[in-house]
Amino acid sequence: MANKQTSMSNVRQIIKLYSQAIGKKKIALRLGISKNTVKHYIDVFETLKTTSDALMKLTDFELNKVFNPPQPTFITGKLNQLITFFPVMEKQLRKRGMTVGKQFQEYKRLHTEGYEATQFYHYYNQWCKKVNPSMHMEHKVGDKMYVDYAGVTWPYVHTDTGEIKDAQVFVAILGWSQYAYVEAMKNQTLEEFIAACENAMHYFKGVPLALVPDNLKSAVIKASKHEPTLNENFKSFADHYGIAILPARSRSPQDKAHVENMVKLSYNRIYTNMNEKDIKPLTELNTEIWKHLSVHNDTILTGKQCSRRDQLMLELPALSPLPEKRYEMRKIKQVTVMKNGHIYLSEDQHYYSVPYELIGKKLKLQYSRSQVDLYNQYELVATHKRIRSPHNYSTEPSHMPPQHRYVTEWSPTFFIEKAKAIDPVVEYYVSQVLAKKQHPEQAYKSCQGILSFAIRVGNTRLIKACKRAQEIGYYNYKIIEDILTKNLDRYDEDLEPTPMPTHDNIRGGNYYQ
């Protein structure tokens, strides 16, 4: 039979003519094919033990399987050794720095009589196509943003300590427009990762439908190809921006091929254009990165007449608008309310008040860069501005019991205003009581006691008592109490002096004039 496969139309004609008792030579001449080909198909037909009518009812696909069944592949011992080596090699290639070339050397060490490099690569490519076929990813406008970290860090100088540290280079790209964002971050912690994702969306001027991260440990607590477990703060960040999180499958680079390619491009178009010996602070480093990034985004795409920036202009309408406020990452702790009605934030060594009815209860503490919130069984019971002031208190007066609340309101102004409402004489006297003490708080209880007499004996007697005490120059609670107890305030201050009696032995007032 010829190497070129005969069409199923000719096969049908061969069987039909043969069933009409036409000879093989005439069939070959009529159809313009070789006699051997005709003989082959007739021999196959006779072994099938079926009728021509039954064969005519089959489709071309079914007929082809009948006359050209797949031939079994015979694998030699040497090829079998190579194919057995490939799965082991695939696992080794997942290690950082491992290459196919190194694995070829390992193969030759194990099988000295094995295939050489050309055949090794040929069979490996064929094996990859069968075992790991590549999938074409269809990208939609405004659909996904892919994020990852470059494997190579970049040195920077810490402005506070002067230390040389390694920055982690964050890379993000929009799937459809391929518009990219690159930023050097301090580390790969969740707080830095969220900040980088947020900066990328602000750079893109919009929010895509989904974010596709790698399985970063700080963001994805437990990786799973079906339903990965995300960090609570990362989910909260996604809710704030209204974006879905779709972690890439483990060991599936095709899920994020765009960002993997962008990492390579960042090495080529950003890293190579920067001087690694010129170590700068992080802000200056990013300024230089963004300068080269802008050139990259403006470069005309291969095979197109537009740049990534041009494509972004078309993708922008499909992106959701950015929220008014940026996301603030929140940390969560469980705390117990102390007897003084405050909780302790150990990170800042600061105390925050809660309603006094919750003393002794366990509350959920959530705090961000600027705010502290406390929850009692999902109910928000207290909100404070975060203050990083060690060993100090942030107290909301409404959280305190009434008796404590009154005491916290005490101040020089408080007592002077109370006294002024009674009479200017009392106001002056109270101000002098406050002034006589080295610290005003030392006089608060004295002032409270003096003003309490307005209720106990009335405003009139208190005013007279203050006048009497002022005349003799004493300014304290005790003198007012003595005056009122001994009724000294009842004596008229303006009584006429008693005239001297006349007597022969008394010279009288006129004697000295």
Residue 296: give its domain's CATH number. Answer: 3.30.420.10
Instruction: Please say which residue of 318, 341, 371 terminates a domain.
Output: 318
Q: Which two tokens stand for residue 58?
A: 């089959």
Specify whether 285 is located in the same domain as 235.
Answer: yes
At 260 the pLDDT is 81
Q: What is the DSSP code (8-state) at residue 115?
A: -
Q: Which range of residues forms the domain containing residue 62?
A: 8-67
Q: In Å, how far are 76, 80, 184 from 73, measured between CA atoms?
A: 10, 12, 53
At 289 the pLDDT is 92
> Would you say residue 251 lies in a domain?
yes
Closest CA to 481 of 462, 500, 509: 462
At 440 the pLDDT is 60
The neighbour count for residue 506, using CB atoms within 10 Å, is: 10
**By CB neighbour count within 10 A (0-12 exposed, 13-18 middle, 19+ buried), where does 481 fall?**
middle
Q: In Å, how far are 193, 198, 347, 430 from 188, measured between CA atoms?
A: 6, 14, 21, 62
| Residue 48: pLDDT over 50 | yes
Beta strands (DSSP E) in 58-179 are 144-149, 154-157, 164-174
Specify whether 204 is located in the same domain as 278.
Answer: yes
Q: Quick one: which H or E segment has residue 191?
A: helix 190-204
At 131 the pLDDT is 64
Q: Quick: pLDDT tens for 443-454.
A: 777 888 888 898
Specify whether 223 is located in the same domain as 282.
Answer: yes
Provide the number of structural domains found in the chain: 5
Q: Quick: pLDDT tens for 256-301.
A: 677 788 888 888 888 888 887 888 899 999 999 999 999 999 998 8
Specify whether 276 is located in the same domain as 206.
Answer: yes
> Would you say residue 497 lies in a domain?
no
Specify whether 379 is located in the same domain as 438.
Answer: no
Specify whether 346 is located in the same domain as 393.
Answer: yes
Amino acid at site 33: I
| Residue 493: pLDDT over 60 | no
> Would you say residue 501 lies in a domain?
no
Confidence of residue 405 (pLDDT cuts 50, 70, 90): very low
> Would you say residue 3 lies in a domain?
no
| Residue 80: pLDDT over 90 | no
Specify whether 159 is located in the same domain as 297.
Answer: yes
More confident residue, 404 or 103: 103
> Would you say residue 445 lies in a domain?
yes
Specify whether 300 is located in the same domain as 184.
Answer: yes
Specify whether 179 is located in the same domain as 208.
Answer: yes
Tell me if 370 sits within 8 A of 328, measured CB to CB. Answer: yes
Q: Quick: pLDDT tens for 178-208.
A: 899 999 998 888 888 999 999 999 999 999 9
At 2 the pLDDT is 45
Give the mean pLDDT of 378-396: 85
Amino acid at site 311: Q
Specify whether 390 is located in the same domain as 261.
Answer: no
> Would you say residue 161 lies in a domain?
yes
Q: Quick one: which H or E segment has residue 31?
A: helix 24-31
Tell me if 207 sits within 8 A of 321, measured CB to CB. Answer: yes
At 373 the pLDDT is 92
Give the mean pLDDT of 57-62: 81
- Whether the full predicted model's pTM is greater than 0.85, yes or no, is no
> Would you say residue 503 lies in a domain?
no
Give the mean pLDDT of 215-229: 63
Specify whether 195 is located in the same domain as 343.
Answer: no
Cα–Cα distance measured from residue 403 to residue 401, given in angstroms and rounded to the nearest whole number: 6
Going by DSSP bridges, is the β-strand pair 154-157/164-174 parallel, antiparallel, or unpaired?
A: antiparallel
Between the CA atoms of 228, 232, 236 and 238, what dihedral angle is there, to the nearest 10 degrees? -20
Percent of the chain with pLDDT over 70: 83
> Would you say residue 139 lies in a domain?
no
At 201 the pLDDT is 94
- Least confident residue range of 120-129, 420-429, 432-441: 432-441
Q: In Å, how far are 118, 175, 406, 436, 450 from 444, measured between CA atoms?
A: 96, 69, 12, 12, 10
Instruction: Please say which residue of 341, 373, 401 terminates a domain.
Output: 401
Specify whether 387 is located in the same domain as 430.
Answer: no
At 41 the pLDDT is 85
**By CB neighbour count within 10 A (0-12 exposed, 13-18 middle, 19+ buried), where does 191 fall?**
middle
Amino acid at site 497: P
Q: In Å, how far are 198, 292, 408, 411, 447 from 452, measured between CA atoms?
A: 60, 76, 18, 16, 8
